[in-house]
Amino acid sequence: MIRSAAALLALLLTGVGAQGAAPRPGGVYPLIPGIYVSHGSGCADPANAVIRQYDGQGLSGAHSRACVARVLARAGRRYTVRQSCIDAGAGPAPRVAERQVVTVLDARRFTLATRGPATLYRYCPTAQLPAGLRSALRRPA
């Protein structure tokens, strides 16, 4: 009994579970790096419009990359940022910037507001993603 409890504790402390090593929260927001989808969307085959990827630097979408969020103000778990991104999923494009309000609910959920009401996003474990998104996680930006 003691050995199994110690093994379970070691797994919890290292973040390793049934799906292998779990990424640790960190970067500009205390979120797990990876793919997030808007509330109500599935991880197995999400539409491009509902996907956000957090890489520790910023939140990119299907048609943006190399996003960098600069924190302008923080109140608890609410971050007001100016985020700049290359305005294309691939190829040459200008860098554009916008003001965002990101509220981190926990390491796997956040809301994002730019213009209008906030949208809730949730983390998708890598094993639940389609092959195309899994391979995108391995590619450098």
pLDDT digits (tens, 9 = 90+) for 21-77: 667 899 999 999 999 999 999 999 999 999 999 999 999 998 899 999 999 999 999
Alpha-carbon distance of 4 to 102, in angstroms, equals 40
* Bridging pattern class, strands 95-106 and 109-113: antiparallel
Asked whether 63 and 89 are in contact (CB, 8 A), the reply is yes
Alpha-carbon distance of 86 to 65, in angstroms, equals 5
pLDDT digits (tens, 9 = 90+) for 76-111: 999 999 999 998 877 888 999 999 999 999 999 999
- Element at 100 (helix H, strand E): strand 95-106
Give the global pTM: 0.80
